[in-house]
Structure 1
Amino acid sequence: MICSKSDDIEKIVEILKNGGTSIVPTDTVYGFSGVVDLRDRKSFKTDDRIRKIKGREESKPLIQLIANPEDIYSYTDSPIPEKIMRLWPGALTVIVPVKINSPLKDYCPTVAFRCPGDEWLRRVIDGCGAPLYSTSVNRSGSPVLETFYEIRKEFETEVDILVDDGDKKGSLPSTLVMLEDKEIKVLRQGSVRID
């Protein structure tokens, strides 16, 4: 199914809440997305489906998108520096240790979160009631696809829904940081500048 950002957001949310995989525009590039099933990871396995489509190794974790900056505290006890929180919503991904009693602890000890700058996408995440996995749209090892035509041609039959928001030529990825002992370590400098 193909739709645009101007279509009824509830259709997209319904597909995602029922375990569907999607390609959606973000504040950086297009991304493969699916709901992080906080109740029972075995029921949806959207992360496994995305990895299979992309051809990505199982050990490499996927970013998780959240609807609001403060939502990160549902999943981590680590204090986030105000310098970082001020940059959200935006194209900044933060790796933090996961709470011991969080359902995400079953995934891995640390998770990369982003509160995207795209308001439409934050409304989708909020409607799903859980974070969304996100990873760039490309086959693993190949360049990120920048035009909707290329994306549709390559992946239309492999996902449940594609959301058209035009081309994303020249878009930079998110800046990726890790918080270690209150220090901010920049792992990838993207569109958000961290000094």
Structure 2
Amino acid sequence: MADFVKIYEENPNPKQIKQVVDVLRKGGVVIYPTDTVYGLGCDITNTRALERIARIKGVKLAKANWSFVCADLSNMSDYVRQIDTATFKILKRALPGPYTFILPGNNNLPKDFKKKKTVGIRVPDNAIARVLVEELGNPIVSTSIRDEDELLEYTTDPELIYEKWNNMVDIVIDGGYGGNIGSTIIDLSDGKVEVMREGKGSLDIF
């Protein structure tokens, strides 16, 4: 059964952050808050953990399109090919924020993502998510936890999330109520701005 850990976004407790990061380092799977919906995540370099998430989501790892949650833009450049100034300006304006940017991947992608030409990058406006990535030292893979309920696409109450998922993951972080609108997905992989999905996050800044 998963641990249920309360972490406050205004001032994430280092001891609790370390507890979560230790689990991630050992190949654990966690549910954590972002600036949109709660995410299901693991260390992007841990194949065993990635396969677990693929099983939970009912997809093949090779076909999964998950985003990388990064702490900041410099973190992101480890996995993304050199981008032009215009693209960088867009990223700088929008992040941290509720956007997922599709960008061209580089040769440093972890082995399970090597065949992918593009990657989805997130820098959420949520201190808990960003501090976890900073402490871990590399991005967390992220996929949203959807609900089977047709009216409620995403569960927002951490206690209900814990009730439903505690047998499938190692830690559920209670970071307060989550949102129920996913991120806006923007494809910048070929230098043009293409909106793939409109979610939380204004399109006006583009």
Global fold match (TM > 0.5): yes
Q: For 1:191, what is the secondary structure of its paired residue?
A: coil
The aligned residue for residue 93 of structure 1 is 100
Q: Which residue of 2 aligns with 1:108?
A: 116
> Per the alignment, do residues 102 and 29 of structure 1 end up closer, same or farther by CA in structure 2, a change over 3 Å counting?
closer
Change (3 A) 1:114 1:153: same
Deviation at 1:18, TM superposition (A): 1.2
Number of positions where the alignment pairs a residue of Structure 1 with one of Structure 2? 189
Q: Distance in 1 between matches of 2:177 and 2:109?
A: 37
Aligned residues: CA RMSD: 2.1
What's the % identity of the aligned pairs?
A: 28
- For the 8 Å contact 1:63–1:133, the answer to whether it is kept is yes
Unmatched runs of 5 consecutive residues or more in structure 2: none
Alignment check: 8 A CA contact 2:36 2:98 kept: yes
Q: What are the ranges of 5 or more consecutive residues in structure 1 without an aligned counterpart?
A: none
For normalisation by structure 2, the TM-score amounts to: 0.83
Query: CA offset at residue 141 of structure 1?
Result: 9.2
Q: Does 1:178 align with 2:187?
A: yes
The 3-state SS of whatever aligns with 1:173 is coil
2:20 corresponds in structure 1 to 12
**AA at the equivalent of 2:118:** T
Change (3 A) 1:180 1:12: closer
Letter in 2 for 1:156: N
Match of 1:81 in 2: 88
2:160 aligns with 150
Question: Is 2:30 the counterpart of 1:30?
Answer: no
Aligned AA (1:2): F
Cα deviation for residue 31 of structure 1 reads 0.7
Q: Kindly tell me: are residues 85 and 160 of structure 1, through their superposed partners in 2, closer, same or farther at Cα, counting changes over 3 Å?
A: same
Find the aligned partners of 2:49 and 2:149 in 1 and give their Cα distance: 21
